[in-house]
Amino acid sequence: MLTAQWMGTKDVKVVEAPVPMVTDPQDVVLQVTSTCICGSDLHLYANAIPGMKSGDILGHEFMGEVCEVGPEVKDIKKGDRVVVSFDIGCGCCYYCNKELYTSCDNTNPSKEQELMYGHRSAGFFGYSAMTGSWDGGQAEYVRVPFADLNCLKVPPGLSDDQVVLLSDILPTAWHANEMGEVSKGDRVAIWGAGPVGLLAAHCAFARGAERVIIIDREEDRLAYARERVPNGKVETINFKNKKPYEALRELFPDGTAPDVCIEAVGLHYTTSWLHWFETALKLETDPSEIVNELIQCVRKGGRIAIAGAYAGYANHFAIGAFMEKCLSMKAGQTPVQRYWHKLLRMVEEGSLDPTFVITHRPPLSEASQAYRMFNNKEDGCMKVVMKPTK
């Protein structure tokens, strides 16, 4: 079968690999019909997450048709069309029982994360030895463990484009809003005009937010946000032209500030000599400075939600402002299975339509070029959904 494999920094190749089989009684094997590239894959592409090995199969956002079923799987049948969660829960540990599936105790045997962070996260598909070395779904076939928990059956009336983002970024956008407790009348500022930031804006409007402001440096992406986010009018700030704090003060002439600030950037990298030069000139901030920027920009008593993915450490946390402004902050990998039934209903009813972020649908055989395009934001690329079936 064809697979997209990580070979090293900025090196993804399409390589043949053996078709996986059911190896545990709770597994299914899926024939993949749609498989996305995520901003989180760009962290692997840049070699910023420890534990990747040459030949690892990538991909954690995918769906398809079940073609083999283990003897202990109860609800999923051969021929079912399912979306798979990027996070792998076991369904029966202390954390899964609290719907904290990204903290599952039984799907990530790696010791490295425990050493770094004190505890291990759950296993994630296609995401390095740090999260369990699970083969990913940028492939024609993939093995899914604990299938009853990690597969969501989808109705035939909905297209792959409408449901595939339930595997990660639609629940992530919703989770960011949950962490920030976004509700009716809130003013929300979102850092990052990538697919996660745009879907976070869409979800904020669906929850009744009064204003949504998106901050980025990519003018094309900011225009995309203004023109394409359904169910509301996004306002934008280009931080190359003005510091977000100053721009937000102008957008809130009554002297208040956003009730909620959402971080949808995470680790980020220079992609060209020009960007390297900008970094040197301090036009771009370092990761710890983004979080401090949120602390600076949110209103007193406001809420901060960090959806962007980080690894390791960021220094100089603005604890003084955090304390004096009486803020709250939550962060985390999204427990997808907690939200996906509700979000599927919202997609069916039409109150959410995540398809507006999808711009490219290349075959899996073009994964190398697709990674380059998404990483370099070429050709108006927002979200890539690859098609493994010939």
Among 82, 147, 154, 265, binds ligand NAD (CB under 6 A): 265
Which of residues 164 and 290 has its CB atom nearest to ligand NAD in the complex? 290
Radius of gyration of the chain (CA): 20
Q: Does 197 bind ligand NAD (CB under 6 A)?
A: yes
| Encoded tokens for 291 | 């979080």
DSSP 240: T
Secondary structure letter of residue 138 according to DSSP:
S
Contacts of 104 (CB under 8 A, 6+ apart): 87, 88, 89, 90, 93, 95, 96, 122, 123
Taking the complex as a whole, the smallest distance from the CB of residue 68 to Zn ion amounts, in Å, to: 25
Residue 172 binding ligand NAD, by CB under 6 A: yes
Contact residue for ligand NAD among 12, 28, 32, 38 (CB under 6 A)? 38
Q: Contact with ligand NAD (CB under 6 A): which of 307, 311, 385, 386?
A: 307
DSSP label of 387: B
CA distance 290 to 298: 12
Q: Per CB under 6 A, which region of 18-26, 71-79, 214-222, 252-260 contacts ligand NAD?
A: 214-222
Q: How far is the CB of 268 from Zn ion (least distance, A)?
A: 15
**309 is an interface residue for ligand NAD by CB under 6 A:** yes
Asked if residue 238 lies in contact with residue 216, where contact means CB atoms within 8 angstroms, the answer is yes
The answer to whether the beta carbons of residues 335 and 100 sit under 8 Å apart is yes
CB 76 within 8 Å of CB 153: yes
Count of residues engaged in binding ligand NAD, rule: CB under 6 A: 32
Q: In which residue are the tokens 């989808």 written?
A: 154
Which helix (DSSP H) or strand (DSSP E) does residue 374 occupy? helix 367-376
- Residue 58 interacts with ligand NAD (CB under 6 A): yes or no: no
Q: How far is the CB of 43 from ligand NAD (least distance, A)?
A: 6
Dig out the tokens for 123 from the structure. 């296993």
CB of 201 to ligand NAD, least distance (A): 11
Residue 215 binds which entry of Zn ion, ligand NAD, none, with Cβ cut-offs from 5 to 8 Å by kind? ligand NAD
Query: What is the contact surface with ligand NAD in residues (CB under 6 A)?
Result: 38-40, 42-43, 168-169, 172, 191-197, 215-218, 221, 239, 264-266, 268, 285, 290, 307-309, 333-334
Query: What is the contact surface with Zn ion in residues (CB under 5 A)?
Result: 38, 40, 61, 168
